[in-house]
Amino acid sequence: MSVPFVKVVRTDQNTYAYDVNTNSILRVSPAIGSILEDYEAWTNPAYRQKHVKIVNEEQYHQAIAFIETQQSKHGFFLPSGLASIQPNLTVSDIQNEDVHVCTHLILNITDSCNFRCRYCVYSGNYPTRRTHSGRTMSWHTAQKAIDLLVKHGRRLDERVTLGFYGGEPLLRFGFIQQAVEHAKQALNGHPYLFSITTNASLLTDEMTNYLVEHRFVVTLSLDGPKTIHDSNRRFQNGRGTFERVIAGIQKLHQIGGDDYFRDYVNISAVLTPPYELGRLQAFFAPFPTSVRIATLEFRDDLYANMTLHRARGLERLCDLLKRYCVSRDRKHQDFRLVGLSLPYELLGRELKRIHRRTPDSRLGETAKVLGLCFPGRVRGFVDCSGDIYVCERVEGNENMKIGTVNDGIDERKVRNILEAVGRLDFSQCQRCWLVRMCRLCFAHLVENGRYSDKKWRFSCTGSQDHYSTALKLYCEILEEDETALDFVDAAPAQYPIHDM
């Protein structure tokens, strides 16, 4: 019995099957949906007898005949024909690429922080992560990193991005100014962008003016209303930090103005108990800027590995997004200005990816999975001592180290990383309905400094759950208005949904 390679989703009105082989979404009858969803089980007469209320014998035979006709005549509902799976990036992909260049460096200028957030990866609760300390980046190291960045940017004739990270980088505001001035001088008119990740508690008028003047992209953390935020994000003395963070956000808005606040400030909210997305949405709706929900690093014992899909209120957020997409008087394409930043950041990318797929493009025998960025080529994270890592999420992991500010990006190390990913067992992807949309990255595969099957499976389940929510929402939106998503900024699928 050949099991169809499909994902079934149900809305209140219809049943759909996403046919992985053809990349098509097909509207089907509820009986066909049930059978496609559990094909092997339905071919067992005992199972059918038990579920006769869902699909009776006559419906079953009609559905099977229909499925077989679709298989033979139109190529829908066929089993997975995948024989080999590769990661999206392999050693052969870097042959023609310049792997020695990196145009985005994030400098970890201090390991120290004025907060002691309970879930912080530097709290000492994570065995392979560094802890808070007085360690700082020397000027010599920062200078080397900036010079490397400028050299790479010039060589590729690309804009460079210089980021500041910590600990709390604003503890060293003078150092940031020194680094910015040095970068501007060395760049001598070459295009650049500065960014900073901060807890926003130390922002003074002077600092804010400086960040605004230099058009810094500011990512700051605010977990939600006071009770939620303060339960984890506290000063070293245990006091809550909510008021100080809000004061910092207000400063950025007042001094930067509406356009700066909308386009350059991002709020990151870590999902923590009571895991109520509706409450977070109500709180964040008045913030006219990007609001992203982040989940905590995978840990068996911390907050039970909460995923977005398991949080309460996801349906309400989907509903808000749907109502906006289908509303006739949709004035802005910008979700930030209509209080929908949080739902959009949660599901917008997935909706776009589903909408831009190319239906009727056959999958074939091989597929590429994951969404790995080119180590070193896209960005690098520089720790206080000048070692460069793939990104901040894998800092301190020796296997993810790709160079130093003294010697630049080490091609051998980049190759080692890609070879190690290439050796992973991708056989489960042959039957995964997300195989054409998978975007997992290094941080989703690595736990305690090593590739981990457990972490990988956890990430896969989270991603599958998330996309299944997005797929359902996609179908619901198009049920109300087939053109509702055509404003997304790339060619939409020509036939978003096939009627069967």
Query: What secondary structure letter does DSSP report for 70?
Result: I
The site for ligand SF4, by CB under 6 A, has a size of 22
Report the C-alpha gap between 437 and 470 in whole angstroms. 12
Q: Where are the beta strands (DSSP E) in 405-453?
A: 408-409, 446-447, 450-451
If the CB atoms of residues 326 and 373 are measured against ligand SF4, the closer one turns out to be: 373
Q: Which of 4, 153, 163, 167 binds ligand SF4 (CB under 6 A)?
A: 167
Collect all residues with Cβ–Cβ distance below 8 Å to 448 and sequence separation of at least 6: 127, 128
If the CB atoms of residues 233 and 355 are measured against ligand SF4, the closer one turns out to be: 233
Q: Which of 218, 438, 478, 497 binds ligand SF4 (CB under 6 A)?
A: 438
Listed ranges 50-58, 151-159, 170-178, 430-438: which one lies at the site for ligand SF4 (CB under 6 A): 430-438
If the CB atoms of residues 168 and 479 are measured against ligand SF4, the closer one turns out to be: 168
Count of other CB atoms within 10 angstroms of residue 74: 16
Give least dist CB 460 to ligand SF4, A: 3
Contact flags string 30-49 toward ligand SF4, x per CB under 6 A? --------------------
Report the C-alpha gap between 219 and 279 in whole angstroms. 22
Report the C-alpha gap between 115 and 67 in whole angstroms. 59
Q: Which phi and psi (to 5°) does residue 135 adopt?
A: -65, 135
Give least dist CB 472 to ligand SF4, A: 17
- Pull the structure tokens for residue 211: 């960040």
Report the C-alpha gap between 174 and 162 in whole angstroms. 16
Report the C-alpha gap between 265 and 290 in whole angstroms. 7
Q: Which of 18, 42, 115, 261 binds ligand SF4 (CB under 6 A)?
A: 115
Q: Are 396 and 130 in contact (CB under 8 A)?
A: yes
If the CB atoms of residues 168 and 476 are measured against ligand SF4, the closer one turns out to be: 168
Give least dist CB 168 to ligand SF4, A: 6
Residue with tokens 């600990």: 167
Contact flags string 260-289 toward ligand SF4, x per CB under 6 A? ------------------------------
Tell me how far CA of residue 405 lies from CA of 312, 328, 416, in angstroms.
45, 53, 19
Burial class (CB in 10 A: 0-12, 13-18, 19+), 40: exposed
- Pull the structure tokens for residue 455: 């972490």
- Mapped onto helix, strand or coil, the DSSP state of residue 39 is helix
- Pull the structure tokens for residue 444: 């989703």
Q: Which of 116, 151, 154, 182 binds ligand SF4 (CB under 6 A)?
A: 116
Contact flags string 129-158 toward ligand SF4, x per CB under 6 A? ------------------------------
428 lines the binding site for ligand SF4 (CB under 6 A): yes
Query: What secondary structure letter does DSSP report for 357?
Result: S
Give least dist CB 362 to ligand SF4, A: 17
122 lines the binding site for ligand SF4 (CB under 6 A): yes
231 lines the binding site for ligand SF4 (CB under 6 A): no
If the CB atoms of residues 116 and 316 are measured against ligand SF4, the closer one turns out to be: 116
Report the C-alpha gap between 413 and 404 in whole angstroms. 11
429 lines the binding site for ligand SF4 (CB under 6 A): yes
Give least dist CB 148 to ligand SF4, A: 25
291 lines the binding site for ligand SF4 (CB under 6 A): no
If the CB atoms of residues 199 and 307 are measured against ligand SF4, the closer one turns out to be: 199
Give least dist CB 37 to ligand SF4, A: 18
If the CB atoms of residues 125 and 143 are measured against ligand SF4, the closer one turns out to be: 125
Query: What secondary structure letter does DSSP report for 395?
Result: T
Report the C-alpha gap between 435 and 307 in whole angstroms. 20
- Pull the structure tokens for residue 420: 């190690």
Q: Which of 102, 435, 485, 497 binds ligand SF4 (CB under 6 A)?
A: 435
For the sheet containing 15-19, what is the strand order? 6-10, 15-19, 24-28, 498-499
- Mapped onto helix, strand or coil, the DSSP state of residue 404 is strand
If the CB atoms of residues 54 and 202 are measured against ligand SF4, the closer one turns out to be: 202
If the CB atoms of residues 111 and 479 are measured against ligand SF4, the closer one turns out to be: 111
346 lines the binding site for ligand SF4 (CB under 6 A): no
Report the C-alpha gap between 202 and 107 in whole angstroms. 19
440 lines the binding site for ligand SF4 (CB under 6 A): yes
Report the C-alpha gap between 187 and 117 in whole angstroms. 37
Interface residues for ligand SF4 in 168-207 (CB under 6 A)? 168, 199
**For 120, left (φ over 0), alpha (ψ -120 to 50), or beta?**
beta
Count of other CB atoms within 10 angstroms of residue 379: 20
If the CB atoms of residues 384 and 478 are measured against ligand SF4, the closer one turns out to be: 384
381 lines the binding site for ligand SF4 (CB under 6 A): no
If the CB atoms of residues 29 and 428 are measured against ligand SF4, the closer one turns out to be: 428
Interface residues for ligand SF4 in 458-487 (CB under 6 A)? 460, 463-464
Give least dist CB 82 to ligand SF4, A: 10
Binding residues for ligand SF4, rule: CB under 6 A, are: 113, 115-117, 120, 122, 166-168, 199, 369-370, 428-429, 432, 434-435, 438, 440, 460, 463-464
